[in-house]
Structure 1
Amino acid sequence: MRTVDIIHKKRDGGVLSSEEIAFLIEGYTKGTIPDYQMSAWAMAVFFNGMTARETADLTLAMARSGDQADLSSIPGVKVDKHSTGGVGDTTTLILAPLVAAAGIPVAKMSGRGLGHTGGTIDKLEAIPGFQVERTKEQFLEQVNDIGVAVVGQSGNMTPADKKLYGLRDVTATIESVPLIASSIMSKKIASGADAIVLDVKTGRGAFMKSLEASVELAQAMVAIGTEVGRETVAVITNMDEPLGPSIGNSLEVLEAIETLNGHGPTELTELCIELAGHMVQLGGQSADAEAGKAQVRQLLQSGAALDKLRQLIRAQGGDASVVDAPSKLPQAPYRVAVPAPASGYVASIDAESLGVTAMLLGAGRATKEDTIDLAVGLKLTKRVGDAVQAGEPLAELYMNHQKPEETQQMLNRTISAFAIQPEPVAKPKLIYAVVTSRGVQHFK
């Protein structure tokens, strides 16, 4: 088998065999296939696409290129959740204890952030004492003991995906649906999930800017899951504005605590209930997603979900009293109100721009080597559709110092992310559609 023949076949629109795909991924991971040949193959895929079977084969080949989690010692259906990325997205911190409280084992491996704010692992480290590193034995034992664990990803999980992603980033082949879908799903399959719920973001603050592209990506990932025997559901959700009002690590932990306490922001709470409902159904604890949603609402009201968060923190060495005394979280010493430049209604909020502002404040990383300030960030006080008076706060900046020039720059950046118009604006839709192997259900 020769690499050049595989490239030639895909260039001309041919369908690759399972053996050809396995040969390609194994060779590239080992270094016997060079970057320039893999670049040519990726560009051929970019233009000619892949079938559902080819994409599933690619996904499995990448999942098998490194470590794979064996969760078979944990009874029950293990349901994982993945978000395609957004701003103010605190869902994992809420869903892990919420779904575990419903009796679904949550064996979650998460990553650190590069960009807007920290990843789930960075956010958890805002909790005093919380340990994100666990041995495989400790990880499995904890899930069997309390039903939930959230740890850092293995350093050798899906090395083929890491290598291929880096190549795609510099060869203009990032925006290929089969390559995006297989990248995401390979990590979920390597993590040992039996079933998967995907939160596919769409809009200005998302990777996929249009609803059509988001539906296409969701269908591709659901098709992969179906092809490899993992039941998969994708929920397509709005990221034209930040999901929750808080953007920043300790701020998002506080928001998660408030949500599990039944007092969280409306949009964040609604989405977590939607995702959790599907997870509970896939985990076999409810007949359908609606029954699952009713079940998790009750868990929020009863305090069972919040108590599961206490158990999770305590099991991983953290100070569980932070749930009842959130002032123990890292605190930014300065808060600066962001005044509205005019009266009217908030017409739009540039989520991506606000995410970059949070990063510039220190809440995220521009490079892998950057250190995150867990206390800083920003919190919105106005959402799309809200009325606002000139001078009224649109948001509040949480800063670790007050240098006049930098503070003014952050104020200007935040103000420019808000568009205000004189006429009333309708509240945006939060959930656009649910995609399953049976098709696409659009929400009115």
Structure 2
Amino acid sequence: MPQHPITDAKIRCCGDIPSMFTSRGHADGHPAARHGSGGDLCVDPGNGQVWGTAAVARGLAPAACRQTFHRGSGRQGQPDPGTCPGCVWLQGANDQWTWPGAHRGHPGQAGVYSWVQCHPEPTTASILSKKAVEGLSALVIDVKFGGAAVFPDQEKARELARALVGVGADLGLRVAAALTAMDNPLGRNVGHTLEVEEALLCLDGTGPPDLRDLVTRLGGVLLWLSGHAGSSAQGTARIATALDDGSARRRFEQMLEAQGVDSNLARSLCSGTPAQRRQLLPHAREQEELHAPADGTVESVQALPLALVLHELGAGRSRAGEPIRLGVGAELLVDVGQSLSRGTPWLRVHLDGPALSDSQRRALQAALVLSDRAPFTAPSPFAELILPPTAAQP
């Protein structure tokens, strides 16, 4: 079977299986672990050697690679999902536990898996293996945490960030990971068309301050890591200048044309007013505004309830191939930290179907959290920067 660059990079990312995974059964901490790939393992029962799926895919593992599963006090059987929330496994035909390659164009290379506890390294391998084969010299990764993120707290996000930075260094990449908060929506717009409009505002040198802050700081770190700025602060200033003088927007127009967008459309999108841009992009048929239920200061706007309702309205999909309503979304009409009077519009929902249901309206209203404290300036979503081992603090 021919080698694949991403598979090879995954082997490099996760070669030391025992130090990265806790397997249930006789594979636990076995010193004879072989090539790993994305966190999936199989074991040869003849000699107990542990093999990763990349080795199976490349025909390196023995054909008899099989694992007898254990759970509880040595009782044989399949892993019990109820006893290990967060564990990962795949089940194929005839209750065989097969590696994912059998479903990705490599039939006949099935092996039975050990029961692997969830760790950040499979995600690390999945992300960095693709970046490694692109020949990047520097990479900045935005790792989200908070109520609407995969990681609810900063510590868990930091664990993944450190894994990404450390493995990147082992692969010869200068990787930095920014930990950024995702409790409130970033910017004011949620939804495909609305977020494109907001990105264009940022390229105009305007747009929401939190979005601009994140763009300039992430870009500044990348310029510094790649040697195009003496520090991340200098890089941030260069990004801000490119936004303000229009050069970033002009480059974006060139990128659109290079990817096949009609030159007249690209020019109109990048040079038009917000109202003109909206006519060029898919937009929803209806709009509905929600009003503040009481006086108060906007303490937060919870991002997750907004995302769930908009998903129901068609802005997202649950499986590949489902249609997406590109114009569906929501505009925040308020900022976190501002004073708000009862009855003031705070959210405008863009939808294609009938009006919001009562339950959807209640869910959205519950996303608005008001307090009685004085108005305040919302903090930056940029919380922490994890740097590669050899890099000094910017």
The two structures have a TM-score, normalised by structure 2, of 0.71
Structure 1 SS opposite 2:298: strand
Structure 2 SS opposite 1:383: coil
Report the alpha carbon displacement of residue 413 of structure 1 after superposing the two structures with TM.
Answer: 2.0
Q: Give the gaps of 5 or more residues in structure 1.
A: 48-61, 66-154
Correspondences of 1:18-417 after superposition (within 5 Å): 19-21=34-36, 23-29=51-57, 173=117, 175-318=118-261, 319-320=265-266, 321-325=268-272, 326-327=277-278, 328-401=280-353, 403-404=354-355, 406-417=356-367
Q: 1:291 is aligned with what amino acid?
A: Q
Shift of the 26–380 alpha-carbon distance from structure 1 to 2, 3 Å rule, reads: same
Q: Distance in 1 between matches of 2:116 and 2:361?
A: 34
* Equivalent pair of 2:165/2:176 in contact (CA under 8 Å): yes
| Number of aligned residue pairs | 321
RMSD over aligned Cα, in angstroms? 3.8
* Residue number in structure 2 paired with 1:433: 384
Larger radius of gyration: 2
Structure 2 SS opposite 1:196: strand
Residue by residue, what CA displacement relative to the aligned partner does 1:335-370 show, whole Å, maximum 9, x if unpaired? 111111111012222212211122112111122121
Q: Distance in 1 between matches of 2:122 and 2:185?
A: 26
2:13 is the counterpart of 1:13: no
Q: Distance in 2 between matches of 1:213 and 1:219?
A: 10
Structure 1 SS opposite 2:172: coil
Q: 1:416 is aligned with what amino acid?
A: A
Report the alpha carbon displacement of residue 430 of structure 1 after superposing the two structures with TM.
Answer: 1.6
Higher relative contact order (CA 8 A, sep 6+): 1
* Equivalent pair of 1:381/1:394 in contact (CA under 8 Å): yes
Shift of the 196–442 alpha-carbon distance from structure 1 to 2, 3 Å rule, reads: closer
Q: 1:434 is aligned with what amino acid?
A: L
* Equivalent pair of 2:387/2:393 in contact (CA under 8 Å): no
* Equivalent pair of 1:338/1:415 in contact (CA under 8 Å): yes
Structure 1 SS opposite 2:163: helix
Q: Distance in 2 between matches of 1:216 and 1:441?
A: 20
Shift of the 188–16 alpha-carbon distance from structure 1 to 2, 3 Å rule, reads: farther
Q: 2:257 is aligned with what amino acid?
A: R
Q: Percent identity?
A: 27
Shift of the 336–172 alpha-carbon distance from structure 1 to 2, 3 Å rule, reads: farther
Greater helix proportion: 1
Q: Distance in 2 between matches of 1:439 and 1:416?
A: 46
* Equivalent pair of 1:345/1:423 in contact (CA under 8 Å): yes
Q: Distance in 1 between matches of 2:327 and 2:254?
A: 24
Comparing 271-280 and 191-200, the one that deviates more: 191-200
* Equivalent pair of 1:435/1:441 in contact (CA under 8 Å): no
Q: Give the gaps of 5 or more residues in structure 2.
A: 1-16, 38-50, 70-77, 88-98
Report the alpha carbon displacement of residue 36 of structure 1 after superposing the two structures with TM.
Answer: 7.8
Structure 1 SS opposite 2:309: helix
* Equivalent pair of 1:433/1:441 in contact (CA under 8 Å): no
Residue by residue, what CA displacement relative to the aligned partner does 1:171-207 show, whole Å, maximum 9, x if unpaired? 895x522223223222322444332111111111111
* Equivalent pair of 1:10/1:16 in contact (CA under 8 Å): no
Shift of the 375–36 alpha-carbon distance from structure 1 to 2, 3 Å rule, reads: farther
Q: Distance in 2 between matches of 1:36 and 1:368?
A: 33
Q: Distance in 1 between matches of 2:229 and 2:150?
A: 32
Shift of the 36–376 alpha-carbon distance from structure 1 to 2, 3 Å rule, reads: farther
Q: 2:341 is aligned with what amino acid?
A: Q
Q: Distance in 2 between matches of 1:212 and 1:441?
A: 22
